[in-house]
Amino acid sequence: MAQSDIYAVHHTPDLRFIPWKFDDTEFRHQCLPTPNELTLWRFRAEWGSATRASFPFHISRDEQNRAARSPSSAIAKRYLVSRAVLRNILSVMLDCPPAQIALDDDAHAQPQLIAPAPHQKLCIRMAYAGIWVLLGMSGQDFGMSVALPGVRPTDSDNESMQSRTREQSRRDSMMSLTGADAFTSSAIDFKLMGNTALLAEAGCDASRAHIVEVPMPGQICAAIATHEPLRAIDAVGWRSYEQIL
């Protein structure tokens, strides 16, 4: 479908995008994000990403067994690295050793914090694009998606291909927010138009969401969808010159 048939886009002001290096010591004291805040981590699926903290990483027995059933060693490694990084991050936020953090998966294979129980709502999302892992946390529900350009030898229009990739990441982030099975700096108001069947199927009461596109390497596109607009994004693993679109 053409973009105009799916949604209308309008720029939304006043979103602060704050880049951090992955190893910034100031960020070690980060608290759980509030409902109008989002914290993102962008890192490579390498064990060095999991060992940048001052304490060792921890992988549960269930996670090791799940990784062993992965279709490839690369996917298993990506899964284990992302879980180790998540535990190290939560251990700082919750002031407890990584081994004491219990995680589970929801119906869409997204991580959930089981113990210690957070004192506020915490939504956690992960998305993968090749060697890259995108991890997000917020005090409100949000959807997150990344998209890679498809390999189409007959398509020589890179600009058109990139536009389709951006559209896919926006659409999939909305589907992720509503709980539909489509998981894979400016905030833009994303309005579904004439798509009541999709809303009903996804169980989404509201017909509007806010979409934020965040910079990714190369031609990777990433988008965040929320019901309520975000005021700030702490972006760990980004550089100062990378800005939201």
Predicted pLDDT of residue 55:
63
pLDDT value at position 113? 93
What single letter denotes the amino acid at residue 104? Answer: D
Q: How far apart are CA 123 and CA 243, in angstroms?
A: 24
Q: What is the pLDDT of residues 155-203, one digit of tens each?
A: 556 778 788 888 888 888 888 888 765 433 344 444 443 344 444 444 4
d(CA 203, CA 227): 13
pLDDT at position 22 is 78
Helix (H) or strand (E) holding 164: helix 158-178
CB 136 within 8 A of CB 128: no
Pick the more confident residue, 19 or 50. Answer: 19
The tens digit of pLDDT for each residue in 131-160 reads 899 999 999 999 999 998 875 544 556 778
Q: In terms of pLDDT, which residue wins out, 190 or 216?
A: 216
Question: Is the CATH number of domain 3-236 3.30.70.920?
Answer: no
Alpha-carbon distances, residue 33 vs 10, 16, 239 (angstroms): 26, 14, 21
CA distance 212 to 226: 9
C-alpha to C-alpha distances, 16 to 38, 40, 46, 117, 239, nearest whole angstrom: 10, 13, 29, 29, 15
The pTM assigned to this predicted structure is 0.80
